[in-house]
Structure 1
Amino acid sequence: MGRDLSALFDPVSVAVVGASDDPAKYGHAIAAQAVRANGRRPVHLVNRRGGTVLGRTAAPSLSAIGEPVDLAVVSVPAAGFEDAVDEALRCGARAIVAITAGFAETGDAGRVRQNAVAERVRAAGAVMVGPNCLGLADNTTDLFLASDTFTPGGVALLSQSGNLALELQLRFRPHGLGFSRFVSLGNQADVTLVDLLADCARHEGTRAIAVYAEDFGDGRAFAEAAADAGKPVVLLTAGRGDASARSAQSHTGALTTSADVVAAACRDAGVELVATPRELTVVLAALSGGRRAADHRVAVLTDGGGHGVVAADAVEATGLAVPELREPTRQRLCEALWEQSAVANPVDLAGMGEQDPGSYAETVAALLAAEEVDAVLMTGYFGGYAAAEGGLGGGGAALADGEQAAARLIAARHRATAKPLVVQSMYPDSPSCRTLAAAGVPVFGATEDAARALAATATGSPGSQGSQGSPGLAPLPSPASPMRESGYMETRAALEAAGLAFPAAREIHDEAELLATAEEFTGPYVLKALHLLHKSDAGGVALGLAGPEELLAAFREMHARLGASAYSVEAMADLTDGIELIVGVNRDPRFGPVAMVGLGGVLAEALHDVAFTLAPVPADRALHLLRGLRTAALLDGVRGRPPVDVAAAARAVETITTFAAAHPEIAEIEVNPLLVRPDGVLALDSRAVLD
């Protein structure tokens, strides 16, 4: 069910501690906003000097109000913060919005103070947003406790940046978007992003949740809450390009960056990940109507060849398809358009719109009705006929009126279908485009924005993490008995016990043990020097040793050079017709175990053909990842080679990642190579690093 945050968003009464008549103080801005909703609930202003604030009598303290306070906004200097919070709790406050800064963001001493206050708040059964936040607002309950006014709408914004909210307010306006709630996250000492996300998911007035976060805290919990939200979640985050601060000791660690982890978590949880406020707005505009494309097939309608080609390229760049239309659809289009119109896809009116603006509406109707079309992108000049200036826009009232009529017909057709329709126009602010926007048709001035919007509506498309297409999060397994040693033989034995197949192997320390092992199984052999993380790089692996004599010679040479304390003698696997993969798990401090699957062997880092997802990875999800690799065609056989057992590889991925997820003491683990053959899989090498 999650935490009860009702006192935060719909309190019985509000008090602003630190209210002021000084416009330079934040307590003035908060107080001015708070009193806007005075008819909804009592709003008390508190200033230690008493007197009046904003023409209203101010109490010198919370206690002096003489009645309980449900929510207290604390905007006082840091030296008086703890006393103000304690007084609020004594006065019955169930919620606190802590504006005051100077805590965890200043260092360890500030964090200690912050944690102590948060503990007292929780002990009293209350909740606290902040400290070091900019307030909150809820347009559905007339609660205005931030310095700015937010246009009402269906988007809840949970943000670590106040200025970002102001920019989004401006960007939302042309798309008819507004805010149900705004919360400045602050330091998240008590109420966290996860708590707020879960509450907004339950909030009837919120249709979509936008998040700007630099610190996820518990990233795995964030992903789980987003996956369970049941409504669109769009994330804008910073710092995704930085590699992990921990020095990687395996290929998996070296190949995994913060960007990979966040992208994998978003994809798995069904979160739309965006890079800029503009892209965030585009995605929200596309998703606000609740429309989803059943598949990836897009029809492009244009009134000029250039716009059509550019739009088709932009659509395909997002991972969607612009397929050729089927004959029945093309025949219907031919009947509606003139001879020079192109009807394959893109569909080009070729100037007919200038003769009959209604041709836009007829074509849109035909494309939305086509079985082979999942979404439509209309691009180019539409809107220009009714525009106040420019080009043919000044070309006559008849064309302008016709275009407006076409816009109304397109809007009606849009309301009658569940398929997404997106428009890119040279004149996005024209009356005709505003008619479309008012009907819920997303309208953009940039082709790339229109294409990104369509990608957001496409279930499971490569350019989208839309919730309907997300694979979901597999639950973490119960912790297993911890590994005490992470040597090669110990790691190998643990994975074998979990069900992963390896070739026969024995650990040896001298020539006598080596020759005894050679009698246990026949060659060819592999010799490995143990206690080296990257054995191949150090020359600690010898392959294809035909018999005992070659094995002994290789041992003597390697031992003279490396002087390792132990070696492994292994049966050489048959590499014929096999494909080498790498499977690893890297434990991220925010998101927990993150799996990597890709083309492996000694060239794993050089090729960098890998995919990421949160661990554990069920076999069906692993199969999807393998099929998504750039080199996936190798798995099905090329140049006369037989296909390999991809299903067995997927089961091996499940085994490895489930094992890693059940061992929180493992910082990194990988199997490289995992040899996939036509008849199954063999793990040829493994390594683990304990935390």
Structure 2
Amino acid sequence: MGRDLTPLFDPKSVAVVGASDDPAKYGHAVAAQALRAPGRRPVHLVNRRGGTVLGRPAATSLGAVGEPVELVVVSVPAAGFEAAVDEALACGARAIVGITAGFAETGAAGLARQQAVAARVREAGAVLVGPNCLGIADNTTELYLASDTFAHGGVALLSQSGNLALELQLRTAQHGLGFSRFVSLGNQADVTLVDLVEDCARHADTSAIAVYAEDFGDGRAFAQAAAAAGKPVVLLTAGRGTASARSAQSHTGALTTSSDVVVAACRDAGVELVATPREMAVVLAARSAGSRACGRRTAVFTDGGGHGVIAADAAETAGLEVPELGAGTQQRLRTVLWEQSAVGNPVDLAGMGEQDPRSYADTVGGLLDADEVDAVLMTGYFGGYAASGSGLGGGGASLATGEEEAARRVVAHWRGTLKPLVVQSMYPQSPSCRILADAGVPVFSATEDAARALASMTATGTGGPLGIAPLPPPAEPLRDAGYHGVRRLLTAAGVPFPEAREITCEAELLSAAAEFEGPYVLKALHVLHKSDAGGVALRLADRDALLTAYREMHARLRAPSYSVEAMADLSDGVELIVGVNRDPRFGPVAMVGLGGVLTEALHDVAFALAPLPAARAARLLRGLRTAGLLTGVRGRPAVDVAAAADVIERLTTLAAAHPEIAELEVNPLLVRPDGVLALDCRAVPA
């Protein structure tokens, strides 16, 4: 059970400290909004000068109000913020909204002040939104404490930007959407994004949660809350293209970026990640329709070849499939369309709509009924017959009437199935398209928006969201981060390695060679990227070859120690990389992909939050561009993916249990038809 935010969203009474008659001050805007529902709860205006504000008497202090106030909005200069918060707590406030800026965003001193205020609020058993926020609103409880007015609806908007919130209002209004709640996140000194997601998940009048966040705080906790929400969570975030804070001492660190981490966390949590406010509005409109496809097979339907081809391309770009329809479905479509209509996919009326707009409904019904079709994208001129008045075919009002009847029949067909239907129209505001939209069918003016909407209505797999695996309890810290110390740690966790010994001189080298047979591998230790430095010698047939290689390598590198190892059989094997990088926001992040010396050049890797269960590891491996190497190509046998996935689970669980390790990597992990061997490893201390 998360934090109780009832005093924040449905307080018994409200006070605005810093209320003002000056339209240039934020205290004026918040006070004016707060007075929109005077009958719901008492609203008190506080201004140190007293008098009247917005025509109402203003108290000179909270204490002068004369009765308890459950929620207090503080909009005063930064120098007076702490005193206003202390007075609010002394007067029994259970929730505080801090509009005032000048805290953590200004540097270390501001952060210290902010932390001290937040500590006092928590000690009093209250909650604080902000500071440095733009207020909150809850349409379901008639709580209006932000400068903007939000249309009523089912979307909870949690945003770190006031202007983006305004743009989202404008864009979602085009799709008939509104908001249940709005919260400006501010500095998240006390109430965090995670707290709000959890509370909105419990809020009966919220059907979807829209988030704009630049700072996730605890990113893993956010992903866990979103995964458990039980309703759509759509995320717009900034700065995904920059590299996260990391070391460059391993391939894992060099390849992992903040973008990879956010994408992986959203995928695992079932969060819809979007790039722009427009895309967020499109996805919210799509998810509000309620339909979810069980597959990606999409039928594209049009009355014009150009629109059909463009829509098919857009659908495939969005990750959907546009396969040719089977003979049976094509034959059934032929019974309702004329001879020149195309029925392969895209399905094209080829002008029939101009003669009989009702053909749209017959075709949509046939496509929705086809077992081989998971979703339908209707695109092009529909809506134009009613919008044009006279119509292309000269039928005038009869065409418009027929089109509106077709729209009602399309709705009837759609309601008879669970399959998604999305419409792109040149005339989205036409009466016919309004019939569709009012019934819940998403209608868009842009083809790419319709395709993106349909993709968001398509399940990624039969299992739904993957979920976020819990972190294991911390293990005993690693004391020896050297190569053989890490090897021992991994071996104890069940990661198999070839025989190996660490040596520092020729005598130890010969002793090690006597313990197991060649061929041998010689590695220089404590050398960064030792392959590039010439610190690895392979396929040393016997002790003489091993000794010669050691003398040559030591003369060049003067490494303090070396590793003598049994040479693995590389035939029929595939080299993978498995690593874990500790992200400052999301914790341990796993990377799997094609390994070896070309890892960074090929960049065929995938990411997930660690630990990574074996089933999910196998799924990531099979999703690589080079996954064909695992299943066998050009006469090569398939390798043991299940064994590789098991090792990935063991390694990522181990790394997640060792917070003192910033990066842990096995590269390469040799996967053969008969099992796996870890051939090299590295750990980077935090």
Q: Which TM-score band applies after superposition, normalised by the shorter structure? A: over 0.9
Are 2:683 and 1:688 equivalent residues in the alignment? yes
1:143-182 matches, within 5 Å, as: 143-182=143-182
1:602 and 2:597 are equivalent in the alignment: yes
AA of the residue aligned to 1:637: G
CA positional deviation for 1:196: 0.4
- Quick check: 1:313 aligned with 2:277? no
In structure 2, what is the Cα distance between the partners aligned to 1:318 and 1:655?
35
SS at match of 2:665: strand
Task: Give the distance between the partners of 1:549 and 1:301, measured in 2 at CA.
Answer: 73
Deviation at 1:394, TM superposition (A): 8.2
Asked whether 1:329 is paired with 2:302, we answer: no
Q: 2: distance between equivalents of 1:407 and 1:680?
A: 59
Deviation at 1:173, TM superposition (A): 1.3
Indicate whether 1:120 and 2:115 are aligned: no
CA contact (8 A) 1:385 1:394 kept: no
Secondary structure of the corresponding residue to residue 312 of structure 2: helix
Residues 534, 328 of structure 1: alpha-carbon distance in 2 compared, 3 angstrom cutoff: same
Q: Does 1:567 align with 2:562?
A: yes
Q: Deviations over 1:478-503 (max 9, x none)?
A: 11101022111100111001000000
Distance 1:391 1:488 in 2: 77
Q: Residue 413 of structure 1: CA displacement?
A: 1.9
**Aligned pair 1:544/2:553, yes or no?**
no
Aligned to 2:366: 366
How far residue 213 of structure 1 moved from its aligned partner, in angstroms, is: 0.2
Give yes or no for contact 1:387–1:393 (8 Å, CA) kept in 2: no
Q: Distance in 2 between matches of 1:196 and 1:676?
A: 44
Indicate the residue corresponding to 1:79 in structure 2: 79
Query: Structure 1 residues 245-254 or 625-634, which shifts more?
Result: 245-254
Q: Tell me if the contact between 1:268 and 1:613 (Cα under 8 Å) persists in the aligned partners.
A: yes
Deviations 1:596-622 (A, max 9, x none): 000000000000000000000000000
For the 8 Å contact 2:270–2:467, the answer to whether it is kept is: yes
Q: Is 211-220 or 326-335 further displaced after alignment?
A: 326-335
Q: AA paired with 2:493?
A: A
Corresponding residue number in structure 1 for 2:92: 92
- Looking at structure 2, the residues matched to 140 and 581 of structure 1 have their Cα atoms a distance apart, in angstroms, of 53
Structure 2: distance between partners of 1:454 and 1:520? 63
Counterpart contact for 1:388–1:430, Cα < 8 Å? no
TM-score, normalisation: structure 1: 0.98
Stretch deviating more after TM superposition (323-332 or 541-550): 323-332
Change (3 A) 1:390 1:635: farther
Separation in 2 of the partners of 1:176 and 1:128?
32
1:631: Cα distance to partner?
0.3
Q: CA deviation at 1:387?
A: 1.2
Indicate the SS of the match to 1:261.
helix
What RMSD over aligned residues (CA atoms) do the two structures have, in Å? 1.2
**How many residues are paired up?**
686
Report whether the alignment pairs 1:417 with 2:412. Answer: no
SS of the aligned residue for 1:273 comes to strand
The residue identity in structure 2 corresponding to 1:497 is A
Give the 3-state SS of the residue equivalent to 2:79 in structure 1: helix
Residue of structure 2 equivalent to 1:464:
none
2: distance between equivalents of 1:442 and 1:506? 65
- 1:412 CA displacement: 1.9
Map 1:51-450 onto structure 2 (within 5 A).
Answer: 51-388=51-388, 392=392, 396-450=396-450
Shift of 1:165: 1.1
Structure 1 residue 389 displacement after superposition: 7.2
- Superposed CA deviations along residues 528-552 of structure 1, whole A, max 9, x for unmatched, are 0011231101110000001111100
Number of the residue aligned with 2:586: 591
TM-score by length of 2: 0.99
Query: Are the counterparts in 1 of residues 390 and 397 from structure 2 also a CA contact under 8 Å?
Result: no
1:444 partner amino acid: F
Q: Partner of 1:653 in structure 2?
A: 648
CA deviation after TM superposition for structure 1 residue 300, in Å: 0.7
Work out whether residues 289 and 442 of structure 2, in 8 Å CA contact, stay in contact via their aligned partners in 1.
no
Please tell me the residue identity of whatever aligns with 1:631: T
Q: Deviations over 1:306-331 (max 9, x none)?
A: 11111111111222211222233222
1:555 aligned onto 2:555: no
| 3-state SS of 1:102 partner | coil
SS at match of 1:37: coil
Q: Give, in whole Å, the separation in 2 of the partners of 1:390 and 1:380.
A: 18
The answer to whether the 8 A contact 1:128-1:191 is kept is: yes
Identical positions, percent: 78
8 Å Cα contact 2:8/2:71 also seen in 1: yes
The DSSP-based 3-state class of the residue aligned with 1:688 is: strand
User: What are the superposed Cα offsets for residues 247-287 of structure 1, whole Å, 9 maximum, x if unpaired?
Assistant: 32100000000000000000011100000001101111110
In the aligned structure 1, how far is the partner of 2:33 from the partner of 2:394?
45
- Measured after TM superposition, the shift of residue 296 of structure 1 is 1.1
Distance 1:124 1:318 in 2: 50
Q: Equivalent residue of 1:61, what SS?
A: coil
Contact 2:268–2:468 (CA under 8 A) maintained in structure 1: yes
Name the CA distance, whole Å, in 2 between partners of 1:489 and 1:389. 81
Mapped partners of 1:478, 1:117: distance in 2: 32
* 1:4-38, Cα deviation, whole Å (9 max, x unpaired): 00011000000011111110000000000000011
**Does the C-alpha gap of structure 1 residues 73 and 687 become closer, same or farther in structure 2, counting only changes over 3 Å?**
same
Aligned residue identity for 1:149 = T
The answer on whether the counterparts of 1:270 and 1:468 sit within 8 Å (CA) in structure 2 is no
**Letter paired with 1:378:** M
Q: Which runs of 5+ in 1 are unaligned?
A: 462-466
Task: Find the counterpart in structure 2 of residue 17 from structure 1.
Answer: 17
The whole-number CA distance in structure 1 between the counterparts of 2:186 and 2:393 is 49
**Cα distance in structure 2, aligned partners of 1:332 and 1:484:** 71
